[in-house]
Amino acid sequence: MRIAVYQTPSPAGDLPAGFDILDLALTNAALADADMLVMPELFLPGYNAVTATPPEGWDRVMTQVQDMCKRHDCALTIGLPDYDTKAVYNAAYAISATGEALAKYRKLQLWGARENALFSPGDGLVTFSYGGTKFGLAICYDIEFPEHARALARAGVAAILTPTANMMPHINVNLIQVPGRAMENGISIAYANYTGSEGDLDYVGHSVISGPDGYPMAAKGMGAGLLVADLPTGLGENGIPYSTQLSDYRPAKPPMN
């Protein structure tokens, strides 16, 4: 299973520009023989451009995204707002290379005053299988909670696909926390971030596909572009197994007062 991540500036509310970026990303992912492309959080219309009501033309967005997947023969995980009848959710959608819906996940851990004012939180984790690989979904702040990644690992996922919109000064998440989360669970994490600025936000870039040993299989600095990596199978480098904490874990009694 070959995973691609696309790091890009936000379309910042410009839907046609966002579709142009997505088309380029899918083109490059298909040329790299990627099976699944991961885009950033709330990529359409842009993380800092989401409003409480759908923008003009929003009713056609999912159809266009699905048609793009079919045209490029590449599956996609993308962050989009989920405009439900009674609430708005920060969501990630997984779509197959034939344009079929694979999964939808609503962000559990809302970050900051704006997200908590605009979105309702999700209420459950999501897994799905594609191309013989079991995936979990997370969005940005979700991956910073070890409980969620551990629950997905215990559910048997090989990788967590994570659209994100991580901004300064939180670069330690990209460089330390995400690789550590992959290593402690013996799974891969594909973490797709923005670069550049959007309104009052300066994104840190540094998208990464971390392997089960915590080392980056592919990583970006601040530039835009595609990352590609093949998900590992079996033993780690030189036949050394990946982390065995999942099988070795021994519950402890709560600490005494």
220 is catalytic: no
Q: For residue 159, count other CB atoms closer than 10 A to its CB.
A: 26
Strands 208-210 and 201-202: unpaired
The C-alpha atoms of residue 2 and residue 205 are separated, in whole angstroms, by: 21
Q: Of 69, 74, 115, 140, which residue is the catalytic one?
A: 140
198 is catalytic: no
Q: Of 69, 107, 198, 220, which residue is the catalytic one?
A: 107
57: CB partners within 8 A, 6+ apart: 15
Q: How many Cα neighbours within 13 Å face the side chain of 140?
A: 31
The C-alpha atoms of residue 167 and residue 187 are separated, in whole angstroms, by: 25
253 is catalytic: no
Determine what percent of the chain falls in helix, strand and coil, rounding each to the nearest 5. Answer: 30, 30, 40
Q: Of 41, 115, 144, 198, which residue is the catalytic one?
A: 41
Active site residues per annotation: 41, 107, 140
